[in-house]
Amino acid sequence: MAETYDVIIIGGGPGGYNCAIRCGQLGLKVACVETRDTLGGTCLNVGCIPSKALLHATELYETADKHFEDMGMSAKVSADVPKMIEKKAEVVDGLTKGIAFLFKKNKVDHIQGFGKIVGKGKVEVAGKTYETKNIVIATGSEVASLPFIEIDEKKIVSSTGALELQSVPKRMIVIGGGVIGLELGSVWRRLGAEVTVIEYLDQILPGMDMEVRKTSARIFKKQGMKFELGRKVTAVDGSGKTVKIESEAAKGGKEKSFEADVVLVAIGRKPYTDNLGLDTVGIETTDRGFIKTNHWKAGEGVYAIGDVTEGPMLAHKAEEEGVAVAETIAGQSGHVNYDAIPGVVYTFPEIANVGKTEDELKEAGVPYKVGKFPLMANSRARCNHETDGFAKILAHAETDEILGGHIIAPGAGDMIHEICLGMEFKAASEDLARTCHAHPTLSEAVRQAAMDVEGWAMQA
Ligand code: FAD
């Protein structure tokens, strides 16, 4: 007799594990199938968490190495890369075990193995068929590459390999100037690698506010990162001792060759649905392979969430959807506000955004006002000698409702949330401008940006 569940979730990443735990909390009989040995998906195992562990360690290293002297201190630092990698692994281990503990606490059955849908309400794992009223697909994404690139995770690496290097490469080429390329490029640059980012577009960080894109490129250049913008990689040859890269101008013409010890391929990620049996339940995908959904529903009794569906490929987006689906299945009204999902680049300074960019508002014909405040005029930033960046608020020209927020600042990833909260409650920019902020804090720059929307920014 096959085991029967209310919900079987395929994939134990942020989408899947949050959905599973919420199902457990709501009293549903739930199982989560995960092919990896550990839970947590891309995010905990080879994504958000290990990258932030290395970003934190290397930020401390760079501060001590380069900036102590400015502040009247001196330190002799050296980096033990294998130890750093080991410490990062400890963090991952602790957090993935934490999910296993939460599964037990919330009565979630963890089925280890590859899950395949074999018909309506049927999931097969390692030759055994489980029956369920609902299936949630949370299989996430995998690294995207170019057809002529062979990733060996040693000299030509994806983000996964870049988190495991045991020594600092002398020269590193990063293909792709998006979030992952800039974060991992920063890790290795801080430790001494000569990092060059090759980006097809004319600016880094596609999709972000243009002012943020230009300013952050300027800041990264000042830190020593090199950029080759508007350049298309045409060949990557890792057969020799070093890696040879050929490129041409994206608009055609001017060819240029590069040589590196390590090449990081960071051109994006693609949805992962290999051998999932989507056809057995009539699930459709877009031409880019994302599962088509309507309010997370992909078919009769089948839902899909997270990176395998369209929208920003972010852990917290997957998590929101996981919770919303669990609540929907339990008969509640699951909800995700897609207008208030923040995005963060965890470099130094951090870059954070929520809501619309100026270009998006222009394109949609929405009348808007801009308020901006430079960190150079923020007293805490001056105390910290960290004055690169700004806070910027976009608000509706007539209603004053906050439509977007963009911040470049140390800790911007934390600062963005007051704008998210404001947007969630449909706050006017004036609401933020009239909210008392502690002094001296970097968050005052956000308030001053909101005050600037109203025409009365005043702090220096
Ligand atoms: P995943 O986390 O990819 O989980 C899917 C899981 O499903 C995987 O564990 C996979 O093994 C499993 N699986 C797949 N198919 C099957 C099957 N058939 N049977 C059983 N199991 C299966 N996002 C952020 O928000 N913040 C960050 O700072 C951040 N940093 C990142 C840094 C890097 C280097 C990378 C690569 C990504 C980063 N991301 C970050 C993105 C984030 O990791 C993803 O958006 C998030 O993990 C998506 O969650 P998910 O649950 O949809 O899928």
Ligand 1 nearest-atom number relative to CA 141: 3
pLDDT of residue 253: 81
Tell which residue, 173, 143, 367, 343, has the closest CA to residue 261.
Answer: 173
Return all residues near 85 (Cβ < 8 A) that are at least 6 apart: 54, 163, 164, 165, 166
User: Has 406 been annotated as catalytic?
Assistant: no
pLDDT of residue 252: 85
pLDDT per position in the chain (460 positions), as tens? 567 999 999 999 999 999 999 999 999 999 999 999 999 999 999 999 999 999 999 999 999 999 999 899 999 999 999 999 999 999 999 999 999 999 999 999 999 999 999 999 999 999 999 999 999 999 999 999 999 999 999 999 999 999 999 999 999 999 999 999 999 999 999 999 999 999 999 999 999 999 999 999 999 999 999 999 999 999 999 999 999 999 999 998 889 999 999 999 999 999 999 999 999 999 999 999 999 999 999 999 999 999 999 999 999 999 999 999 999 999 999 999 999 999 999 999 999 999 999 999 999 999 999 999 999 999 999 999 999 999 999 999 999 999 999 999 999 999 999 999 999 999 999 999 999 999 999 999 999 999 999 999 886 5
Ligand 1 pocket, mutate which of 10, 91, 139, 353 (most atoms under 8 A from CB): 139
Task: Kindly give the distance from the C-alpha atom of residue 123 to the centroid of ligand 1, in angstroms, as a whole number.
Answer: 21
**Residue 291 in contact with ligand 1 by CB distance below 6 A:** no
What residues form DSSP beta bridges with 209?
Answer: none
How far does CA 178 lie from the centroid of its chain? Answer: 10
**Residue 36 in contact with ligand 1 by CB distance below 6 A:** yes
**What residue owns the CA closest to ligand 1's atom 35?**
47
pTM to 2 decimal places:
0.97
Return all residues near 35 (Cβ < 8 A) that are at least 6 apart: 112, 113, 114, 115
Task: Kindly give the distance from the C-alpha atom of residue 203 to the centroid of ligand 1, in angstroms, as a whole number.
Answer: 26
Instruction: Identify the sign of the CA torsion 208, 292, 3, 6.
Output: positive
Ligand 1 nearest-atom number relative to CA 143: 36
pLDDT of residue 1: 54
Ligand 1 nearest-atom number relative to CA 42: 2
Ligand 1 nearest-atom number relative to CA 275: 18
Cβ atoms of 42 and 318 within 8 Å: the answer is no
Return all residues near 182 (Cβ < 8 A) that are at least 6 apart: 174, 197, 204, 205, 220, 225, 345, 347
**Residue 351 in contact with ligand 1 by CB distance below 6 A:** no
Return all residues near 420 (Cβ < 8 A) that are at least 6 apart: 340, 342, 354, 405
**Residue 11 in contact with ligand 1 by CB distance below 6 A:** yes
Ligand 1 pocket, mutate which of 48, 51, 103 (most atoms under 8 A from CB): 48
Element (H, E) at 273: none
Q: What is the ipTM of this complex?
A: 0.99
Distance CA 409, CA 344 (A): 11
Distance CA 69, CA 78 (A): 16
Task: Kindly give the distance from the C-alpha atom of residue 308 to the centroid of ligand 1, in angstroms, as a whole number.
Answer: 9
